[in-house]
């Protein structure tokens, strides 16, 4: 290193030392910055650690925090200590427990529904890490209502029918200042109303909003956790559009956005818990979802919601909290599109379900309490509704069978047996001549597909089938098992579903009957596919709703019976006479035939080039 370089380094070092001594900011003279987005204060780590330890205390009395920490809570310091009481509210539909520590619900248990193993079903589970917590800034300290003890005037409420009763949790600072959590319960409703009220808190709350943090560890309530997981997610109404976190993904999901949010819902397979903003909407939302590894829970769902605060003498923010079954008519009654949480497929399938399947299903419920019979009646109704299409399809197959056995068709097949293109063209010309279309039998079947697939979505989501026994199945909403294998077969499972097995066998039998009716026409590969698809569905439906497999089995049996009965209404002699008469008429080429000929000309021209 030369002399100039050494001098330069010395001068740079002297310059840095001089700047750091005279111009560098003194950290003690600068207050810590407040990150209003997350409501976290950098210099509160020790205090927050203390509060975390405090939140795990389960005894009725909570010891006094160190005064140096408690003093930072300012006017809310007096609420850090108290007696943790449980307030029980009992309605016709559920029992809810609320705690004076936090002034929030800690558990909601259904009276009507049970878990798959007969235990009380939690609409809101009492998990130690669950939260329903308001937090805000006071004296640059994060105040969380879950750490405050509220006063209440009663230890229990009981109501039924059209009764409604009020419960109030109060943190009274003085005669003019208070923080109130108010609830109104209804005897015959799955919802209750909740209101956050501030009286003369003004600038005691530093930021311009409350943050509502809602964390829920969803309990496993059904037989199959694997079936519950893809049906469990967070839904929300965002800027008048319904959106949700991906339920199928095995990776953690999250969403964060500023905007207007009317409601956020924690939806499971058959039940949901929903927070609905009433007069005003939430202004910010952050939602997260992740799969829990233990066998007694499905997913951890959490959300952070911003509630506006304007520092007025008295303010309130109203919520409606729903905790109940995913029953489509019930959810529709709120007129908030809550029913769209239930997976019913694409818009076409959802329309078929809402306008056809559900009204028919509800109608047959009036005649019997046995849901296996309800499904049977529903299948009969659908089959009668589709009988005109089925008749047309059967008539078309009968015509095709006769035409394919005519001497003229045999001659065509022999003449063009080495040229598939010319064979197909000659067949289409002959079909057109005798007035038969090979596609006329397919169209009626295609029109039935929306109903078929709508049932595929409807039955696994129908709360009415949950824990309804029929024959050997103890729950039509999930799979029936006549044999537990003790090991897992890929794509099939670890059990044998008899309803699915019967459905598969009946589908194969119907395929055989249909192919016999059509004769020897068509490629052999397509015939084999008719037997492969039922085997594929055997693996798919083995873990699906037993009610769905029972419906498909009944439909197969009805279709086979209907096909047999059609023979008495379709006269082969009349069909033959009609075909002979059509042979005498001049041939008019169909649009399809003209398109086929044009394609062949283009192909030949290309070959010449």
Tokens in use for 119? 């235990």
Q: What is the pTM of this model?
A: 0.75
Number of structural domains found in the chain: 2
Task: Tell me: pLDDT of 294 over 80.
Answer: yes
Residue 251 has pLDDT above 50, yes or no: yes
Point out which residues pair with 196 in neighbouring strands. 181, 317
Q: In this predicted model, what pLDDT tens digit does every residue of 542-564 receive, in sequence order?
A: 888 888 889 989 988 988 887 77
Task: Among 316, 343, 370, give the residue marking a domain's end.
Answer: 343
For residues 185 and 157, the answer to whether their CB atoms sit within 8 Å is: yes
Say whether both 479 and 492 belong to one domain: yes
Specify if 336 maps to a domain: yes
Specify the pLDDT at position 71: 65
**392-425 b/e (C-beta count within 10 Å ≥ 16 → b):** bbbbbbbbbbbbbebeebeebeeebeeeeeebeb
CA–CA distance, 444 with 449 (Å, rounded to integer)? 9
Q: What is the mean pLDDT of residues 243-253?
A: 90
Residue at 63 is within a domain: no
Confidence of residue 525 (pLDDT cuts 50, 70, 90): low
Q: How far apart are the C-alpha atoms of 318 and 100, rounded to whole Å?
A: 20
In a domain, 223, yes or no: yes
Residue among 560, 99, 431 at smallest CA distance from 108 = 99
Residues contacting residue 606 through CB under 8 Å, at least 6 positions apart: none
Q: Are 102 and 238 part of one and the same domain?
A: yes
Verify that 441 and 540 share a domain, yes or no: yes
- Percent of the chain at pLDDT > 70 equals 77
Give the domain-ending residue among 343, 364, 394. 343
Whether 589 is covered by a domain: the verdict is no
Q: What is the pLDDT of residue 334?
A: 93
**What is the Cα–Cα distance from 145 to 153, expressed in whole angstroms?**
19
DSSP output for 517-554: HHTT-S-HHHHHHHHHHHHHHHHHHTTS-HHHHHHHHH
**Residue 597: its pLDDT value, please?**
67
- Evaluate whether residue 599 is within a structural domain: no
- Output Rg (C-alpha) for the chain, integer angstroms: 35
The residues, any chain, with a CB within 8 Å of residue 564's CB and separated by 6 or more, are none
User: Is the domain of 438 the same as that of 303?
Assistant: no
Are residues 507 and 538 part of one domain?
Answer: yes
At residue 4 the predicted structure's pLDDT band, cuts being 50, 70 and 90, is very low
If asked whether residues 245 and 388 sit together in one domain, one would say no
The DSSP code for 83 is B
Please state the rounded mean pLDDT for residues 567-588: 61
Q: Which of 368, 427, 386 lies closest to 559 in space, CA to CA?
A: 386
Asked if the structure places residue 49 within a domain, the reply is no
**Domain's final residue, options 343, 371, 396:** 343
Per-residue pLDDT, 98 = 93
Same domain, residue pair 147 and 285: yes
pLDDT tens for 207-237 read 888 899 999 999 999 888 888 898 899 999 9
pLDDT at 241: 87
Is residue 224 located within the same domain as residue 369?
A: no
pLDDT digits (tens, 9 = 90+) for 380-401: 999 888 888 777 777 777 777 7
The overall average pLDDT reported for the chain is 79
At residue 583, the pLDDT reads: 58
Angle (CA) 253-254-260 rounded to 5° is 140
How many CB atoms are closer than 10 A to CB 148?
24
Asked if residue 329 and residue 353 are part of one domain, the reply reads: no
With cut-offs at 50, 70 and 90, classify the pLDDT of residue 493. Answer: confident
DSSP secondary structure code for residue 151 in this structure: B
Domain that holds residue 332: 82-343
pLDDT, position 32: 33
Residues 182 and 252 in one domain: yes
State the pLDDT confidence band at 24, using cuts at 50, 70 and 90. very low
Q: What is the pLDDT of residue 42?
A: 35
Do 286 and 416 belong to one domain? no
* C-alpha to C-alpha distance for 242 and 344, rounded to whole angstroms: 15
Q: Please check the confidence at residue 3 and state whether its pLDDT lies above 70.
A: no
How far apart CA 146 and CA 76 sit, in angstroms, is 12
Phi-psi region of 579 (alpha: psi -120 to 50; beta: other; left: phi over 0): alpha
Give dist(CA 135, CA 146) in Å, integer: 9
DSSP readout, 365-414? Answer: HTT-S-HHHHHHHHHHHHHHHTHHHHHHHHHHHHHHHHHHTSHHHHHHHH
Distance CA 127, CA 118 (A): 20
Q: Would you state the torsion angle of the CA atoms of residues 54, 55, 59, 60, taken in this order, to the nearest 10 degrees?
A: 100
Both tokens of 316, joined, read 């309130």
Q: Is the pLDDT of residue 586 over 90?
A: no
The residue behind tokens 């090979």 is: 438
Give domain status of residue 472, yes or no: yes
Side-chain half-sphere CA neighbours of 46 within 13 A: 7
Is pLDDT at 139 greater than 90 in this prediction?
Answer: no
Q: Is the confidence at residue 55, as pLDDT, over 50? A: no
Mean pLDDT, residues 302-330: 91
pLDDT of 80 > 60? The answer is yes
Confidence band (pLDDT; 50, 70, 90) for 81? confident
Question: Is 61 within a domain?
Answer: no
Model confidence at 182: pLDDT above 90: yes
Residue 25 is encoded by which pair of tokens?
């900011």
Provide the CATH number for the domain around residue 158: 2.70.98.90
Q: Clarify whether residues 335 and 359 are in a common domain.
A: no
């Amino acid at each position: 290193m030369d002399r100039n370089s050494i001098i330069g380094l010395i001068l740079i070092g002297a310059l840095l030392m001089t700047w750091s001594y005279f111009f560098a900011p003194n950290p003690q003279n600068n207050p810590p910055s407040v990150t209003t987005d997350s409501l976290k204060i950098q210099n509160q780590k020790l205090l927050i650690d203390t509060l975390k330890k405090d939140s795990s205390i389960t005894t009725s009395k909570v010891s006094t925090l160190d005064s140096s920490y408690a003093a930072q809570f300012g006017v809310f310091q007096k609420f850090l200590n108290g007696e943790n009481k449980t307030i029980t509210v009992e309605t016709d539909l559920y029992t809810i427990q609320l705690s004076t520590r936090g002034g929030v619900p800690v558990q909601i248990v259904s009276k009507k529904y049970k878990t798959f193993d007969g235990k009380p079903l939690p609409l809101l589970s009492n998990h130690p890490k669950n939260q329903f917590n308001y937090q805000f800034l006071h004296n640059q300290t994060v105040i969380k209502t879950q750490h405050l003890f509220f006063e209440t005037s009663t230890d229990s409420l009981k109501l039924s029918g059209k009764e409604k009763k009020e419960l109030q949790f109060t943190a009274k600072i003085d005669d003019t200042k208070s923080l109130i959590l108010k609830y109104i319960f209804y005897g015959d409703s799955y919802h209750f109303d909740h209101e956050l009220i501030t009286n003369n808190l003004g600038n005691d709350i530093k930021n311009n909003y409350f943050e509502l943090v809602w964390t829920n560890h969803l309990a496993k309530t059904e037989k199959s956790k694997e079936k519950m997981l893809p049906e469990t997610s967070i839904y929300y109404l965002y800027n008048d559009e319904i959106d949700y976190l991906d339920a199928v993904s095995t990776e953690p999901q999250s969403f964060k956005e500023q905007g207007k949010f009317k409601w956020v819902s924690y939806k499971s397979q058959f039940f949901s818990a929903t927070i609905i903003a009433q007069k005003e909407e939430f202004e910010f939302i952050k939602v997260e979802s992740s799969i829990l590894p233990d066998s007694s829970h499905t997913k951890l769902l959490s959300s952070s919601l911003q509630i506006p605060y304007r520092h007025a003498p008295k303010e309130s923010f109203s919520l409606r909290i729903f905790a109940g079954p995913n029953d489509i008519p019930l959810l529709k009654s709120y007129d908030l599109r809550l029913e769209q949480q239930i997976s019913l497929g694409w818009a076409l399938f959802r329309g078929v379900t809402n306008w056809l399947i559900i009204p028919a299903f509800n109608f047959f419920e009036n005649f019997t309490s046995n849901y296996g019979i309800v499904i049977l009646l529903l299948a009969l109704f659908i089959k009668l509704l589709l009988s005109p299409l089925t008749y047309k399809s059967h008539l078309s197959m009968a015509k095709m069978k006769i035409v394919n056995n005519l001497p003229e068709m045999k001659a065509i097949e022999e003449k063009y047996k080495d040229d598939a293109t010319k064979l197909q063209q000659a067949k289409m010309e002959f079909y057109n001549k005798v007035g038969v279309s090979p596609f006329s039998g397919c169209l009626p079947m295609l029109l039935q597909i929306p109903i078929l697939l709508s049932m595929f979505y409807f039955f696994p989501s129908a709360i009415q089938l949950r824990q309804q026994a029929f024959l050997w199945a103890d729950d039509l909403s999930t799979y029936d098992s006549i044999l537990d294998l003790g090991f897992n077969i890929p794509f099939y499972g670890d059990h044998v579903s008899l309803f699915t097995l019967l459905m598969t066998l009946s589908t194969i039998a119907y395929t055989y009957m249909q192919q016999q009716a059509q004769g020897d026409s068509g490629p052999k590969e397509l015939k084999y596919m008719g037997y492969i698809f039922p085997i594929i569905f055997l693996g798919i439906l083995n873990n699906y709703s037993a009610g769905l497999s029972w419906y498909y089995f009944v439909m197969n049996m009805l279709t086979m019976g209907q096909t047999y009965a059609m023979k008495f209404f379709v006269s082969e002699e009349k069909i033959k006479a009609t075909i002979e008469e059509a042979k005498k008429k001049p041939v008019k080429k169909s649009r399809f035939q003209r398109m086929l000929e044009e394609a062949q000309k283009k192909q030949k021209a290309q070959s010449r080039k």
